[in-house]
Structure 1
Amino acid sequence: MRASRLVSLLLLLQTRGRMTAPELAEALEVSVRTVYRDVESLGAAGVPVYAERGPAGGYRLLDGYRTRLTGLTAGEAEALFLAGVPGPASELGLGSVLATAELKLRAALPTDLADRGGRIRQRFHLDAPTWFREPEPTPHLAALAGAVWEDRRVRVRYRRWQAPREVTRTLDPLGVVLKAGRWYLVAAADGQARTYRVGAILDLTVLDEPADRPAGFDLADCWREHTERYESSVYRAEATVRMTVAALARTVHLLPPAMSRAAHDAAGAPDADGWVVTTVPIESIRHGHVELLKLGAQVEVLAPAELRDLLADTAHALAALYPPTGAERAVQPAGGDSGGPGGPGGPPRASVRR
């Protein structure tokens, strides 16, 4: 275990240059004291690693020193083959490059490791798009990825949801992200990092101008902040509801994750009839109407009144479209058997509040 960590420390310094002890400790998931001991061990083994003092100091290797460590463990070889994702690589215009790189890797590896890599592809597969959604056409993705890689500005004609629907922007591309089968461009515009759906780009021109990339920009951190900000901004209101315990469990499958999580977090203890009171975030009255209808008669909206009235109107309209037949009236208990208000397991009608 320690020998593997020493190799990792050496390769970190070789690939990243100067690194502080806390940075090495974080990368290796050990204490700073352990890093001090490991650096001493490397020095004792003849590796030319030295420390630079001062605020901008850290450990680094002697200029020009390169290790020839090329050995791969079985797990490392498997991870390399698993990391090669054919679908996204092809969309980025790197499909043939990835295939060639894998062939070279197979040829360079011992037979047993090359065979293990082949087995990975036969046992693990990534299908990025979500269910019931075709991959979004992205004709400009490869050119956009090239601009990101070459740090070139781009001019895009972009289709958006608000008026004016089509706009032209000059952007400093910072990175591309694949999220649930859709590609997004993270780019700087007007001094701020913004996100654009690649499939909504109607026209793209790569400019002969260097892109302005902020110092210290981290794509993963930027994307995480964007998703958190987006999810919190989408749900601008909330609804107070009563629902059966069974309906609460079904929210995981029927409602968006943010609504389901909030419903579970805010749910109180079930009453004697098996109903709980909770709150769910909603984008709008219409959005709450569409989503909560999925739970049928096992949910009752208490507030806001506008949402409750809209669901009541829908229920009355459905009742008019589907009146019970004579046979149904003969066997159906009052209020139905769905656990809703007035049915078995539900409250008496007098308890329904407006």
Structure 2
Amino acid sequence: MRADRLMSIMILLQNRGKMTAKELANELEVSNRTILRDMDALTNAGIPIVSQRGKEGGWHLLDNFRSKLSGLNIDDMKSLFLFPSGELLEDLGLNNQPLDTRQKLLAAIPDTYREEAQAMWERIHIDSGTWRQSKEKKHALNVVQQAVWDSKKAENSL
């Protein structure tokens, strides 16, 4: 469990930048003291973690350090292959070629998980083609989605 937590700390710091021991402890549901011990362990393992004291202090990775570890487990990787249908992606204005994206994901997965991920991809197909809404509802979805992408407030004009 500790190895998972150490990896989680690295991923959190990579994604969020600076975090306090309290923020990390809350996120990982452990004590502040556990976080301090974990930071010592990461430092001893050669991970360039820096502590900054004061009001704006916290822990961060030195010089934008990035680990090649993803933290993904086999269930995470399997779930990545359960893409929605091409029609749904097209309705959302996203890549309507999910097979291309799956191929890229499969190439990025470590060899130890690749076979299981490939099996998941080949065995499960979710046909959401019958879930499509009317053209009016599709237009409303497009309006809301555009507001989300543009970080704008959507107004109800009804």
Inter-partner Cα distance in structure 2 for 1:46 and 1:120: 36
Q: Which residue of 1 aligns with 2:107?
A: 107
Q: Which residue of 1 aligns with 2:8?
A: 8
Q: Which residue of 2 aligns with 1:40?
A: 40
Q: Offset at 1:103?
A: 1.4
Superposition pairs of residues 311-350 of structure 1, within 5 angstroms: none
Superposition pairs of residues 260-271 of structure 1, within 5 angstroms: none
Inter-partner Cα distance in structure 2 for 1:97 and 1:21: 42
Which one has a larger percent strand, Structure 1 or Structure 2?
1
- TM-score, normalised via structure 1 length: 0.37
Superposition pairs of residues 1-354 of structure 1, within 5 angstroms: 1-70=1-70, 72-82=72-82, 84-86=83-85, 88-96=88-96, 98-110=98-110, 113-120=113-120, 122-123=123-124, 125=126, 135-136=133-134, 137-139=137-139, 141-142=141-142, 144-151=144-151, 172-173=152-153, 187=154, 196=156
Inter-partner Cα distance in structure 1 for 2:9 and 2:27: 9
Inter-partner Cα distance in structure 1 for 2:125 and 2:2: 31
Inter-partner Cα distance in structure 2 for 1:139 and 1:17: 38
- Structure 1: give runs of 5+ residues left out of the alignment: 152-171, 174-186, 190-195, 202-354
Q: Offset at 1:26?
A: 2.7
Inter-partner Cα distance in structure 1 for 2:116 and 2:8: 23
Inter-partner Cα distance in structure 2 for 1:110 and 1:47: 22
Q: Offset at 1:74?
A: 1.9
SS in 1 for 2:27: helix
- Structure 2: give runs of 5+ residues left out of the alignment: none
CA RMSD of aligned residues (A): 3.3
Give the aligned length. Answer: 153
Q: Deviations over 1:6-40 (max 9, x none)?
A: 11111110111011222212322323222111111
- TM-score, normalised via structure 2 length: 0.73
The one of the two structures with greater contact order (alpha-carbon pairs below 8 A, sep at least 6) is 2
SS in 2 for 1:96: coil
SS in 1 for 2:96: helix
Give identity over the alignment, percent: 37
Inter-partner Cα distance in structure 2 for 1:76 and 1:20: 27
Q: Offset at 1:144?
A: 4.9
